[in-house]
Amino acid sequence: MQDEVTAGRECLQGEVLLVAEEASGDHHAADLVRALAGVAPCLRFFGMGGVALAEAGQEQLLESRDLAVMGLAEVAGSLGRARAALRLLTAEMKRRRPRAIILVDFPDFNLRLARAARRLGVRVIYFISPQVWAWRSGRVRVLARDVDLMVCILPFEPAFYRGHDLNAVFVGHPLVDQVPLSLEPPDAARRRLGLPETGKVLALLPGSRRQEVRNLLPDMLQAARRLAGEPGLAAILLPQASTLSRDDLVQAAGEAGLAGVQVVEDAFHQVLRAADVALVASGTATLAAAMVGTPMILGYRLHPLTYVPVSYLTRIPHAGLVNLVAGRRLVPELLQDDFTPENMVREARRLFRDVEATRLQREGFDEVRSRLGAPGVFQRAATVVADAIRGG
């Protein structure tokens, strides 16, 4: 670990309040904390997060698992818990007066906390932008008012924010550092997971939030059940996010008549590497699948009360991050009423059988990887964040 004093700088002292929500945000935030230990080893972190942040050394005042929801209608069901969490974190911010607050995505919660921090004179750094460029773009005015620095992980975000007078910098996407540069061959991944050497493998990635799993996994399982009846399918894999219960996933598979589904812990990238095709919930997992090179079908469904205003306000041509970064419809998107077992089965069969279709996806994934930045994302982010905390 490099000591800042030996590098000619006084060690950056003080506390930082850090708030992350769902599994990917928790892991990204944890990697940022570890990188900051290399450039600002005297900083101490407290706040809200999950298992990964706790392991990285953050003092957890709140567990984020209970607030891991998204969507207008879905958020309403957790308003009481969210308000209590906001009160607690704001009170701690007043008491401890941290050097800065670092917010990770989760806009319905974090924008309120950013406002409270601004009123207290606490520097606000946003790492992993809320998708205001996609919908509810009026929120960018709130961000410009309350946020000192937006640390962006998607290449098209800085220009958007700078156009609204918000200081923004692109550091690259965390997956560039988190997905191994030299992935093991698919057959090695299969052996590691105890899978048959021959036959097709299907992966189901329903998201990391419990509400996402309730909305998406039953139809994914129904699609998988139909595909399981076809010759050549050797295994169905369901990686478990840290925010989810293994028992709940096993029970859902059993209720769908798929007792043979393998729920896999702590092997997300190996699952993708072993899979020939993946059914993936729209979000960061689509970029992970692209980084690994796994052909995919993207899907999502929101509560109808959420979907209507979102569809009205959405300003982007694609729903999936992988398609947004690619700049075209690289993978099929099955959204809302189109997210059905029948449609998933049709698209999965096409990818299993059509070598040209999978080749075109994989070629597009190479473009996506090149646009997500060079390795060293967290080191760059840590340097930018430490400078912002100093007031630079």
pLDDT for the residue 310: 45
Closest CA to 321 of 164, 142, 133: 133
**Residue 299 within a domain:** yes
- Assign 387 to helix, strand or coil: helix
Across 370-375, average pLDDT: 96
69 residue type, one letter: V
**Using 50, 70 and 90 to split pLDDT, how confident is the model at 381?**
very high
> Total domain count for the chain?
2
Query: Is residue 177 in some structural domain?
Result: no
Considering the domain architecture, whether residues 367 and 379 belong to the same structural domain is answered as no
What's the Cα-to-Cα distance from 77 to each of 25, 80, 91, 264, 369, rounded to whole Å? Answer: 21, 8, 24, 30, 37
- pLDDT of 271 > 90? The answer is yes
- pLDDT over threshold 70, residue 311: no
Separation of CA 279 from chain center: 16
Under 8 Å between Cβ of 42 and 16:
no
Task: Place 5 in a pLDDT band, splitting at 50, 70 and 90.
Answer: very low
Q: What is the pLDDT of residue 294?
A: 97
Tell me whether residue 180 is in a domain: no
pLDDT in tens, 60-91: 999 987 675 544 444 445 678 888 999 999 99
6 domain residue, yes or no: no
Q: Is residue 216 part of a domain?
A: yes
97 and 196 both lie in a single domain: no
pLDDT of residue 10: 80
What are the helix (H) ranges across the chain?
23-39, 51-55, 72-76, 79-96, 107-120, 139-146, 157-162, 175-178, 186-192, 210-228, 246-255, 268-274, 284-292, 304-313, 321-326, 341-353, 355-371, 377-390
Q: Is the same domain home to 86 and 220?
A: no
Whether pLDDT at 4 is above 90: no
Share of the chain above pLDDT 70, in %: 89
By residue range, what is the domain housing residue 343? 186-371
Same-domain check for residues 144 and 204: no
Distance CA(90)–CA(94), nearest Å, equals: 6
In this structure, the number of other CB atoms found within 10 A of the CB of residue 240 comes to 20
pLDDT in the model for residue 108: 85
Q: What is the per-residue pLDDT across 20-72, written as a single tens digit (0 to 9) for each?
A: 987 788 989 999 999 999 999 999 999 999 999 999 999 999 998 767 554 44
- The stretch 252-270 carries a mean pLDDT of 91
Which two three-digit tokens encode residue 19? 């708030």
Q: Are residues 122 and 154 in the same domain?
A: yes
pTM strictly above 0.75:
yes
Q: Which two tokens stand for residue 299?
A: 């899907």
Q: Is the domain of 231 the same as that of 243? A: yes
Q: pLDDT of 175-195, one tens digit each? A: 999 887 678 899 999 999 999
Q: Which pLDDT score, from 0 to 100, does residue 319 have?
A: 80
What is the per-residue pLDDT for 377? 97
pLDDT at 169 over 70: yes
Report whether 184 contacts 190 (CB < 8 A): no
- Give the whole-angstrom CA distance, residue 135 versus residue 387: 31
- What confidence tens digit (pLDDT) does each residue in 212-222 have? 899 999 999 99
Instruction: Please give the C-alpha separations between residue 144 and each of 81, 159, 241, in angstroms, as whole numbers.
Output: 27, 14, 33
In the three-class reduction of DSSP (H, G, I as helix; E, B as strand; rest coil), residue 92 is classed as helix
Could you tell me if residue 317 is inside a domain? yes
User: CA-CA distance, 280 to 297, in Å (whole number)?
Assistant: 6
Q: Do 297 and 279 reside in the same domain of the chain? A: yes
Residues 202, 134 within the same domain:
no
| Helices and strands in the chain: count of H runs, count of E runs | 18, 13
Q: pLDDT at residue 351 above 70?
A: yes
Note whether 241 and 309 are within 8 A (CB): no
Indicate whether 218 and 354 sit together in one domain. Answer: yes
Look at residue 295 and tell me if it is in a domain: yes
346 and 385 within one domain = no
Domain match, 75 and 214 both = no
Q: Grade residue 309 by pLDDT with cuts at 50, 70 and 90.
A: very low
For residue 346, being part of any structural domain is answered with yes
Task: Judge if 135 and 94 occupy the same domain.
Answer: yes
Q: How far apart are CA 95 and CA 101, in angstroms?
A: 14
Q: Over the chain, what is the mean pLDDT?
A: 89
CATH number of the domain bearing residue 278: 3.40.50.2000
Check residue 316 and give its pLDDT: 62
Report whether 313 contacts 306 (CB < 8 A). Answer: no
Q: What value does the mean pLDDT take over residues 99-103?
A: 98
**Residue 61: predicted pLDDT:** 96
